[in-house]
Structure 1
Amino acid sequence: MSVTLEVSKETGVAVVTLDRPHRLNAIDLDTARRLAEVWRGLRFDDTVRTVVLTGSGTRAFSTGLDRDSVVPQPDSPYMQDDPLLTIGPKANDLWKPVIAAVEGMACGGAFYLLGECEFVVAGEDAVFFDPHTTYGMVSAYESVLMAQRMPYGEVARMMLMGTAERISARRAHDIGLVSELTDSGEALGAAIACAAVIAGYPAAGVQGTVRALWSAKEAARGAGWAQAPHLIALGNLPTEQQAELFGGRSGAKPRIR
């Protein structure tokens, strides 16, 4: 199964794992559907009070949309089908706190998930980047989400530099994207420890706080969301040209800062 769910009734913590390590936990259409099902199901499980989201293995949290996924698009600049718009907890009306545990790469469409988590715990080998511009694509939804989690100059640099540069876990911690930095391989344990503390508090107060925090960001996010489809329609290269750029990508090692 592409997404696994483990629930500890003793602690009230659920762990949701992207389980496609052979594809660097990239999200195909089945994974997108499964994530939505998991989040919506967790709304009805009162034994779960806090959730940790992670990726299987240490190579990647997620590398975003699986490039082998075929997503037909309407022939109109006013309508788009983006399967990642419904993969996050908030998009599925889940207001229980979700903590991300990141090891390895988190890039591109992974930001749809990180943008809807309350905070991020990362291992020291984690790296963050966005490949969109490198391959002739507009980073729209990802930019909107990350602009609410990082200083403007930092998110602008990450989105515009594409695959040429990666933000290290330490730099991500320094600028506030990551709230806790751990040794490599220990992010999940640290995230579960935080989740267990929160799960021990009265659920109504915790969920109300999550909703209040999110409401502070909703207006700006909504405005950015409204512009995204048009910017993507105007700025994206045709799919075949994107594929050419992807296939001819440089083998040079990206700079990490």
Structure 2
Amino acid sequence: MKTLTVTADKDSGIATVTLDRPARLNAIDLTMRDELREVWGELRFDDTVRAVVLTGAGDRAFSTGLDRDAVVPQPNSPYMADDPLLHVGPKSNDLWKPVVAAVRGMACGGAFYLLGESDFVIADPSAAFFDPHTTYGMVSAYESVLLSGRMPYGEVARMMLMGTAERIGARRAYELGLVSELTEPGGALAAATECATVIAGYPPEGVQGTVRALWAAKEASLAAGYAQAPHLISLGNLPDERQAELFAGRNRTYRTR
């Protein structure tokens, strides 16, 4: 069963990629991970597509990150930790066509692999951003590195360290620069599509070169952060069974700022 919905309008030059597991809050299982990598690869070769809109199905979540039921085998070595979402985003798959994310509902944890590799984010007022890693005894490594280039350090630190106790609402995310536009209720997808339509109308060589240049400005810091991430995760993550206990006993109350 497909976990992505991909539609392409050849007249407008826009492809819409929808994370399509609303019953699971669009959590990314290994099937969706593989489908995303395949889709980004296919879009590299489709010259009729000049811009991409990325969104999630339903109104509860853009994505809640890695599906907790996903079984990810790991080598028995601290030097070879496998992160299942490390190459799930468009830039990681060498796609230099612009990607505009439309967020409605929750976006947390592994969702930042996708949002961090989108070129800009447009949000519905229902959007809420948080990172649960520390609450469940895990190191927020790659997510922290990706968001550190999009928000002030103190705000990224607060989000990552506060875990599930606090969420950044859409208005605050807009004020911090994580979100470039805050729409009326239900308007994020239409606004993202409108922006993508404008961009797709420009000569693609200049657009793609600009995307590549913008990402180049971030690559050095990303590479340095990523180099440390596997070791920090290996050292800091609690055993899986202990993480599961913390998840089962989690406090479901939180504040939104």
> Same fold by TM-score, threshold 0.5 exceeded?
yes
The aligned runs of 1:1-257 (5 Å cut-off) are: 1-251=2-252, 253-257=253-257
Moved more, 127-136 or 81-90: 81-90
SS at match of 1:195: helix
State the shift of 1:208 in Å: 0.1
Q: Partners of 2:127 and 2:246 in 1: how far apart?
A: 25
Unaligned stretches of 5+ in structure 1? Answer: none
- Deviation string, structure 1 residues 198-243 (Cα, Å, up to 9, x no partner): 0000000000000000000000000000000000000000000000
Rounded Cα–Cα distance in structure 2 between residues aligned with 1:75 and 1:242: 19
For the aligned residue pairs, the C-alpha RMSD in angstroms reads 0.5
Aligned residues: 256
Report the Cα distance in structure 1 between the residues aligned to 2:15 and 2:99, rounded to whole angstroms. 9
Cα distance between partner residues in 2 of 1:210 and 1:149: 15
What is the CA–CA distance in structure 2 between the aligned matches of 1:53 and 1:81, rounded to whole Å? 25
Runs of 4+ in 1 over 3 A off after TM superposition: none
Bigger CA drift: 189-198 or 83-92? 83-92
The alpha-carbon deviation at position 83 of structure 1 amounts to: 1.3
Q: Deviations over 1:70-118 (max 9, x none)?
A: 0011111111111101110001110000000000000000000000000
For 2:255, the aligned partner's letter is R
Tell me the TM-score normalized by structure 1.
Answer: 0.99
The whole-number CA distance in structure 2 between the counterparts of 1:31 and 1:81 is 17
Whole-Å Cα distance in 1 between the matches of residues 5 and 37 of structure 2?
Answer: 12
Amino acid at match of 1:256: T
Q: Secondary structure at the match of 1:43?
A: helix
**TM-score normalised by length of structure 2:** 0.99
Structure 1: how far apart are the matches of 2:15 and 2:247?
36
